[in-house]
Amino acid sequence: MSFNPRFRYTESIVRDFGLIEAARAVVDVLPLPPDRVLRMRQEARERSTRSSTRIEGNTLEGAEIGRAVVAPGKVSNVMQQEVRNYWRALEWIEEQIEAKRPESEEFIRELHAIIIVKGQGRRGQRSDYRRHECPVVDTATRSIDYGPPRPADVPELMKDLAAWWGNPATAKLLGPVRAGLLAHRFVSIHPFSDGNGRTARALATTELWRSGYEMRGFLSIEEYYTADLQAYYSSLQMGLPVDYYEGRHDPDHTRWLEYYFDTMAKAADGLREQAVTLYAPQVRENPPWERLRRVQQQILTRLVMRGDQKKSDATVFTPGDVVDWFGVSANTARDWLEKWMEEGFVCPEKAGVQRIRNYVLAPGWAEIMKSALINAPVKTT
């Protein structure tokens, strides 16, 4: 059952890869105003979250997404929970990449657990593979669109996929090829009872970011899927029979990769155009947060969203916010905040108090935050 994907580098794939590389060369190095970079990261994360959950039927829009992500405590409905989960999953991916965590089945199971967790959940949880048949059914006609592999075959198929993902030979493929193949094979195996589509898209994002295609956090491919869902579904199916065992077990992935590269090229080229319009030649040094850890960068992004919701100063937050946002214990949140005070990232809202209830960003970070909130949102594609 070993996974050895078949595909060809067609003219369209090569052309689109050239567009992607040209865009990456511009976006990764072009000097941009720090407050604009912070805003673009936040907006890209919001678009990815909105679009990936919308494919599964979630109807929340920008303001509603922001409220779900930064709301304290539990959220009130399933759609809000789906949005919060996906946002947290993208943050978790960043943290795993920073920690140089290798590819594995455990990585996939933990990622899925974050995407489908109910309530606040725990970060160490892992999902179990499905134990029942789980056909994909058209919601309108009730006909079966896809019959995944038998539950008994799922563990071995996932073991093979993880082995392929971590194989040195796989590492020699182009980053977008690895990302596209990983997502397609995963969604074909359909290893879980729910959340397979979102997890597949998050896995593709994982591989792109690991491979150097994060594009400063600005890249959002999912929104291009939702622009034409029929094309997305058709490309995933590749004209193959409904039953996994009648052709989907060993397909030629060329058609899917042509679609995947075309979509990524459109997203990347749109970013290139946007970056050129924001070019700031006077900015020569790397943005100041590049020296921050991922969790600290994520704090800045969440506070931008909170500022959009409250329409006021968003530099104040509590240890409880850290617990809610990152799924850590109260002790861990306090440890983080103490270390951040030592590093000059945050400080107590009120100086001289024995028990700190609220924290604020240190002055330099607060100024960047306020500038990002004052400026009009960046136009998105």
Please state the rounded mean pLDDT for residues 179-187: 98
For 137-162, give one letter per residue: b (16+ CB within 10 A) or e.
Answer: eeeeeeeeebbbbebeebeebbebbb
Q: Report the pLDDT value the prediction gives residue 370, as an integer from 0 to 100.
A: 80
Q: What angle do CA 32, 38, 42 make, to 5 degrees?
A: 130
**Residue 376 CB neighbours (<10 A):** 6
Q: Report the pLDDT value the prediction gives residue 372, as an integer from 0 to 100.
A: 76
Q: Report the pLDDT value the prediction gives residue 83, as an integer from 0 to 100.
A: 93
Q: Report the pLDDT value the prediction gives residue 125, as an integer from 0 to 100.
A: 83
Whether the per-residue pLDDT at 379 is higher than 80: the answer is: no
Q: Rounded to a whole number, what is the distance in angstroms from the first to the last CA of the chain?
A: 41
Closest CA to 197 of 56, 373, 327, 10: 56
Whether the per-residue pLDDT at 279 is higher than 90: the answer is: no
Share above pLDDT 70 across residues of the chain, in percent, rounded to a whole number: 92
- 78 or 73, greater pLDDT: 78
Closest CA to 267 of 225, 206, 230, 237: 225
Please state the rounded mean pLDDT for residues 294-319: 83
Q: Report the pLDDT value the prediction gives residue 30, as an integer from 0 to 100.
A: 85
Q: How many helices (H) and strands (E) does the chain have?
A: 16, 5
Q: Which CATH class is domain 11-277?
A: mainly alpha
Whether the per-residue pLDDT at 33 is higher than 80: the answer is: yes
User: How is the chain split into domains, by residue range?
Assistant: 11-277, 288-374
* Band of pLDDT at residue 10, cut at 50, 70 and 90: very high
Please state the rounded mean pLDDT for residues 214-227: 92
Contacts 24+ apart (CB under 8 A), 321-327: 321/70, 321/72, 324/72, 324/73, 324/120, 325/70, 325/88, 325/298, 325/299, 326/88, 326/91, 326/123, 326/295, 326/298, 327/88, 327/120, 327/121, 327/122, 327/123
The CATH number of the structural domain formed by 288-374 is 1.10.10.10
Cα(83)–Cα(74) distance, integer angstroms: 13
Q: Report how far apart, in Å, the C-alpha atoms of 175 and of each of 94, 221, 272, 288 are.
A: 17, 15, 19, 28
* Band of pLDDT at residue 377, cut at 50, 70 and 90: low
122-141 per-position pLDDT tens digit = 445 899 999 999 888 877 67
Which of 70-79, 236-245, 341-350 is least confident? Answer: 70-79
Whether the per-residue pLDDT at 62 is higher than 50: the answer is: yes
Please state the rounded mean pLDDT for residues 345-372: 85
| Residue 21: half-sphere exposure toward Cβ, Cα within 13 Å | 8
- 22 or 33, greater pLDDT: 22
Average pLDDT of the residues of the chain: 89
Cα(120)–Cα(331) distance, integer angstroms: 17
Please state the rounded mean pLDDT for residues 209-234: 93
* Band of pLDDT at residue 365, cut at 50, 70 and 90: confident
Whether the per-residue pLDDT at 46 is higher than 70: the answer is: yes
* The token pair that represents 19 in the structure block: 């567009």
* The token pair that represents 195 in the structure block: 């959340």
Q: Report how far apart, in Å, the C-alpha atoms of 227 and of each of 208, 223, 232 are.
A: 21, 6, 9
Cα(179)–Cα(267) distance, integer angstroms: 15
Please state the rounded mean pLDDT for residues 299-309: 85
Q: Are 108 and 199 in contact (CB under 8 A)?
A: yes
Q: Report the pLDDT value the prediction gives residue 380, as an integer from 0 to 100.
A: 43
Cα(205)–Cα(241) distance, integer angstroms: 28
Global pTM value: 0.86
Q: Are 164 and 184 in contact (CB under 8 A)?
A: no
Whether the per-residue pLDDT at 352 is higher than 80: the answer is: no
